[in-house]
Amino acid sequence: MPSKKASEFYAEDIPNLNGYVVIVTGGNSGIGYETTLQLASHGARVYIAARSPERVNKAIAEMKASCKVKLDLYPLDMDLQNLQSVKEGAEAFMRLESRLDILINNAGIMAVPFKLTTDGFETQWQTNHLAPFFLVKILLPLLESTAAASTSKSRVRVVNVSSDAALLIAPKTLDLEHSNLEHVTGPMSGWKRYGHSKMASLIHARALHNRYYSAGISTYSVQPGIVATNLQAADPSLFGSFVRRTVRWGIMPGTISVADGARTTLFCATSPKAENHSGGFFVPYGKLDKRPDKWNLDEELVGRLWTESERMVREAGF
């Protein structure tokens, strides 16, 4: 077993989270499960936002059975491919809780065949960016009031789980006029749309920082690493099959465990060492990555993502 590096972040470095209220989207499986388990085992009350109550309740039961301490866990019904469901889930949460300390936009889909949601958006664009954007917008008053009442300048945090795909296989920049990327075809089209949606997720964190850091809300985007989860199961192409097999067999270079995959998210959500790097993009394990600065320092692009995302949500009827 390799020795631990003092400069890296580990689950045992998570501070006491008693009194914290957290939402983790997709917290019932994969790195979301591990993220939820670690936050709850360190004292936080955690809501798992997902579209399958049965799977969430099963995950909660498994977490409670595996942990020696009492866990404060709750389901939150929410389907990111349905903006009305996002709205209803967020409003249900606000009826239950008077504060929100940490919001982790963890849920996502990868390289799925082209399809539109009932709201009229490509499924990856909506699931990985637009629905999390809408969720944050609805919850902003609660995030702001929690920050205003906090004695810690960086207690309130939003973390977007993004991907290196934003840098490696996405278009060179955001295409906000054709965000569904209908014109992109070929065997890599699903991956390009995935990278595009994760680029938006990454830039969205910077946009949040620009607007709300002064109000006490810190925001981050993360690349969790190459982790064997059910995310890789959707792409039917030969390339998708190759990725699936190499990751699950552990022969993809850089493949890490689910527990390690959650570490960077947990760092951004909880570590005092992340305090002065709001708006940044982090890679395993809690290292600041400057590569996205080509987008994040483009104030026009960052601002346009926000206004165009607002327009999309508004034109969808919200």
Question: Residues with catalytic annotation?
Answer: 194, 198
> What's the CA gap between 11 and 13, in Å, rounded?
5
